[in-house]
Amino acid sequence: MRWRPGLRAAVILGMFLGMPGVPAAGGLGAESFVLANGMRVVAVPMERPGVVHHAVYYAFGAADDPPGQSGMAHFIEHLMFNGTASTEEGEYKQIIGRNGGSTNAYTAADVTAYYATIARDRLETVMRLEADRMTGVVFEADNFEAERQVILEERLQRTENSPSGLFREQLRAASWQAHPYGRPLIGWRHEIEALTQEQVEAYYRRHYGPTNALLVVAGDIDAESLRPLAERTFGAVPAVGEPVPQRPAEPPHRARVTVEMEDPRVVRPRWSRQYRAKGYFSGAERESATLDVLAAVLGGASGRLRRALVVDRKIALSAGAYFDGDSRDGGFFLVYAMPTDDTDIVDLEAAVNAELERVADDGVTQREVERAAYRFAAGEIYARDDVSGTADFVGRTLVKGGTLEDIDGYIALVRSITAADVVGAARNLLADPITITGILRPESAE
């Protein structure tokens, strides 16, 4: 359910070849082919003897849930473990487990993914099981209702019982006027409660199938050995899978929005501000790379915000910046901070703003930009130095319309970002009054 960057991780693979102190990763060396039924397959060979990560990506996610039926993709994610004509409920996980593997799935806004890490000699077993449940899930009333209760409990734990979960949901809703990104990925409670088995089964039968799916296998594999396995397993599935309907697009925003929530369970206030920004997949490739670098200049342990607000002025316990630029239909540049006990939110906000203005007015050095890019990538490389992280960034990039070439291109792009680019990006952000500010407080200020 967590947002996971796709393209960013690409930086890992190529940017720091030969840089001291950063583990060098080989080039992707990925190979792609398409099965007769339209399913795309990518092999990403990695030096992990005997281990593979197998992941199937469906080219739709929570943002494609039908109107009034939020939670659809996530509900199906749960039901995918509930058995087919040839496997019992829970058997999928047991078979993977018996074979020494692990499996899970996630529902993001743009994509739904099902994956397993397993020994190379059990790969075909996983492929057979995954191909089987691609169209073969058996819907059964008792299972359906039981799964609904599991999902409602998950929503209770992650959202309703969590002030920050609830607040995130409110901020998300206030950030979008027409686009379904405004809905929670797990779904609104009342819509999860109202989903019928008929609706869910109909959605599954209509959209799940090879033509909407992408397989990525990373690790001890190559295209040549993957192809016959893929043809025997996924290749046997009929060419079904209608494209999902086009999503409503977002109109221009004209007003500044502030979202404030108080909750006695909150220990410390939190402040954040989102600037609307096009993302990589909206065609803003260079802007996207620039905002990734700006986020690294401002954010992180040695970023300007932490140095100024936490270390020097001691008005914040934490402060940072982040660019959410990997969503298919646009994203946000985010700055945030958590004040110390005797700091007013208004002063905190002014201090964050001052740092953005300092970039815009006084500039940054090329050296600072290079170090920021280095930090940005280094953070990613340690987080994703495995078969699953590699497969996942390839899968998420391709399924959103990116290409293997985009991945390599992004590396060159980030390398080409200059101090002037970063200053320009900061100026653009500050020139836009149409922001979304979030304030979460321990208790009412009134």
Query: Which residues participate in catalysis according to the annotation?
Result: 77
Residue closer to a copy of itself by CB (options 357, 368) is 357
**Beta bridge pairs of residue 273:** 335, 437
Least distance between a copy of itself and beta carbon 68 (Å): 4
> Per residue, what are the HEC states of 188-228?
CHHHHHHCCHHHHHHHHHHHCCHHHEEEEEEECCCHHHHHH
Cβ neighbours of 140 (radius 10 Å): 14
**Six-digit token pair at 332?**
């946000």
Torsion sign (Cα): 146, 148, 153, 158: positive
Closest to 397 in 3D by CA, of 327, 340, 320, 341: 327
Least distance between a copy of itself and beta carbon 204 (Å): 20
Least distance between a copy of itself and beta carbon 70 (Å): 7
Continuous H helices in 299-344 = 304-305
R_g of the chain computed on alpha carbons: 23
Least distance between a copy of itself and beta carbon 275 (Å): 14
**Six-digit token pair at 161?**
């019982």
C-alpha span between 204 and 119 (Å, rounded): 30
C-alpha span between 49 and 276 (Å, rounded): 44
At 267, is the secondary structure helix, strand, or coil?
Answer: coil
**243 neighbors 212 (Cβ within 8 angstroms):** yes
Least distance between a copy of itself and beta carbon 171 (Å): 8
Type of residue found at 247? R
**Beta bridge pairs of residue 332:** 276, 324
Residue closer to a copy of itself by CB (options 408, 432) is 432
Residue closer to a copy of itself by CB (options 145, 193) is 193
φ and ψ of 365, to 5 deg: -85, 160
Residue closer to a copy of itself by CB (options 174, 284) is 174
Q: Enumerate residues 6+ apart whose C-beta is below 8 A from 157.
A: none
C-alpha span between 286 and 424 (Å, rounded): 12
Residue closer to a copy of itself by CB (options 169, 292) is 169
Residue closer to a copy of itself by CB (options 285, 349) is 349
Least distance between a copy of itself and beta carbon 438 (Å): 8
Least distance between a copy of itself and beta carbon 177 (Å): 4
- For binding to a copy of itself (CB under 8 A), which residues are involved? 67-68, 70, 166-167, 169-171, 173-174, 177-178, 182-183, 188-191, 245-249, 251, 253-262, 433, 444, 446
Residue closer to a copy of itself by CB (options 77, 349) is 349
C-alpha span between 315 and 305 (Å, rounded): 11
Q: Enumerate residues 6+ apart whose C-beta is below 8 A from 88.
A: none
**Beta bridge pairs of residue 119:** 51
